[in-house]
Structure 1
């Protein structure tokens, strides 16, 4: 029974990835690196803070929230108008392995909001991502390694 459930989850994940792939292109290490560099330039991130960002650690700093928003936008995972693209998040972070579907989805279910708090867009993007990331940092590092 458990193996049938796992097969069903993998099939659904594959279908979601295929559907999303028509609109969303899976990003790789080079895409993430380019997004990091462009956002660093845009937000004038100091070297010591940037080094932490490169390790997918986003400390509390005056530049962090908008850097995270910029990074996610450049990867097509977030937009100011629509918020987080959950299908793109699932496609992006399960493209290498369907074993990560449960973790990625759990993080989204736990953390996604639709900015009911009416925060500024940088705060919103960072709030959700900083909730989701600790659950999925290993997946992010694996995908963008």
Structure 2
């Protein structure tokens, strides 16, 4: 569940260029499992997500459909990791995943940046870009997906 919070804090359109001043990211507050549960409820309600999809999301299954795309966009926006116009905030995503120990020169940061850039050109639709970035990261880091009983 902790990783899910971190990952959903992660993902997805136009990436902030490497030369940008990242001081604004230093004030980012890492979200908790409590935040995730609240955001889930809000997004499910707001988007009228059917129970069968909610159950799939709890098992880390994200079908390639419009409801799922927009659900992930909603969650990522609430985590302040994604903006429909600006795309993924790579530094915030990395900070959410690794906290204060995030080394923005390591392989995870590079992978997050790669997925964010790929998502940025995936579609004109912000929901699709959010989905693409999120699923890209899951493919790069499948070992981070918690095993278990739907408690994600």
Q: Please, what TM-score do these two structures have when normalized by structure 1?
A: 0.71
Q: CA RMSD in A?
A: 3.1
Post-superposition shift, 1:51?
1.3
Which has the larger Rg?
1
Match of 1:85 among 89, 93, 106: 89
Matching of residue 116 in structure 1 with residue 116 in structure 2 = no
CA contact (8 A) 2:85 2:126 kept: no
Counting only pairs closer than 5 Å after superposition, residues 1-145 of structure 1 correspond to structure 2 as 20-22=25-27, 24-95=28-99, 102=106, 104-113=108-117, 115-136=120-141, 138-139=143-144, 141=146
CA contact (8 A) 1:78 1:84 kept: yes
Q: Which runs of 5+ in 1 are unaligned?
A: 1-17
Q: Which runs of 5+ in 2 are unaligned?
A: 1-22
Number of aligned pairs? Answer: 126
Q: Which has the higher helix share?
A: 1
1:41-83 per-residue CA deviation (whole Å, 9 max, x = no partner) reads 1111111110121233312233000001000000000011211
Q: Highest relative contact order (Cα 8 Å, sep 6+), 1 or 2?
A: 2
Instruction: Give the 3-state SS of the residue equivalent to 1:95 in structure 2.
Output: helix
